[in-house]
């Protein structure tokens, strides 16, 4: 982790959703510009052994991205305290001077862009600068186009990789399938880990034609 910048220290706070990687990259750019330490924090009310496959994949992707940016990744699971309290505790312990937050609201962080949450957070850590990062329209509306992710597998066939929902010894990849809303067929996105990298591929009528044609990482 970078230690050149002695006057600044950045904390990126991420929650489950498609904007986490965007926030980490933004924090990484800021830390690189300031040549200062970078931390990535996620807070969860569930114990680790109760996480679903979607949550596990998000965490894996964030850990990998944090490592790419030289950041220390911090997970606070089975956490019952208010999120602002946890952020404040981490900020004090790590001597944070700047906090990066996302504009999109989700679950326990649904008030993250409202004055009440910001005021509470500023009361906890009045010594920090807050960066509220807006999320693009496409990222905001991702849940409108796809159903909730479910565990799925890819089997290698002569026609490509076939999507299935039962684990067999022939399964090549395990991941999450996001079905397009309003379709009767298995069309959508399949997200999985490959060589410690999160990959998204397009599924059309149960098949992924080319596993190397990732949509984004």
**Domain limits of the chain?**
10-140, 146-208
What would the pLDDT profile of 169-180 be if each residue is shown by its tens digit?
888 888 888 888
Identify the residue with better confidence: 26 or 2. Answer: 26
Q: What is the reported pLDDT for 214?
A: 58
The answer on pLDDT for 216 being more than 50 is no
Domain 10-140 falls under CATH 3.40.50.620: yes
In this structure, of 53-62, 103-112, 141-150, the range with the lowest mean pLDDT score is 103-112
Q: What is the reported pLDDT for 140?
A: 42
Binned at pLDDT 50, 70 and 90, residue 2 comes out as: very low
Write a three-state SS string for the chain: CCCCCCCCCEEEEECCCCCHHHHHHHHHHHHHHHCCCEEEEEECCCCHHHCCHHHHHHHHHHHHHHHHCCCEEEEECCCCCCHHHHHHHHHHHCCCCEEEEECCCCHHHCCCCCHHHHHHHHHHCCCCEEEEECCCHHHHCHHHHECCCEEEEEEEECCEEEEECCCCCCEEEEEEEEEECCCCCCCEEEEEEECCEEEEEEEECCEECCCCCCCCC
């Amino acid at each position: 982790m970078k230690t050149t910048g002695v006057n600044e220290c950045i904390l990126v706070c991420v929650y489950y959703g498609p904007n986490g990687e965007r926030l980490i990259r933004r924090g990484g750019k800021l830390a690189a510009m300031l040549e200062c330490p970078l931390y990535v924090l996620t807070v969860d009310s569930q114990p680790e052994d109760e996480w679903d496959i979607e949550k596990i994949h998000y965490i894996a992707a964030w850990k990998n991205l944090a490592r790419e940016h030289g950041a220390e990744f911090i997970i606070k699971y089975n956490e019952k305290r208010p999120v602002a309290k946890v952020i404040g505790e981490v900020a004090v312990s790590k001597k944070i001077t700047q906090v990066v937050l996302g504009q999109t609201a989700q679950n326990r962080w649904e008030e993250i862009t409202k004055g009440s949450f910001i005021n509470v957070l500023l009361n906890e850590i009045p010594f920090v600068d807050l960066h509220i990062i807006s999320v693009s329209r496409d990222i905001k509306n991702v849940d409108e186009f796809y159903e909730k992710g479910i565990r799925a597998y890819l089997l290698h066939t002569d026609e490509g990789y076939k999507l299935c929902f039962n684990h067999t010894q022939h399964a090549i990849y395990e991941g999450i399938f996001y079905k397009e809303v309003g379709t009767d067929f298995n069309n959508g996105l399949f997200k999985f880990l490959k060589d410690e990298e999160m990959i998204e591929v397009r599924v059309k009528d149960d098949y992924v034609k080319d596993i190397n044609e990732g949509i984004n990482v």
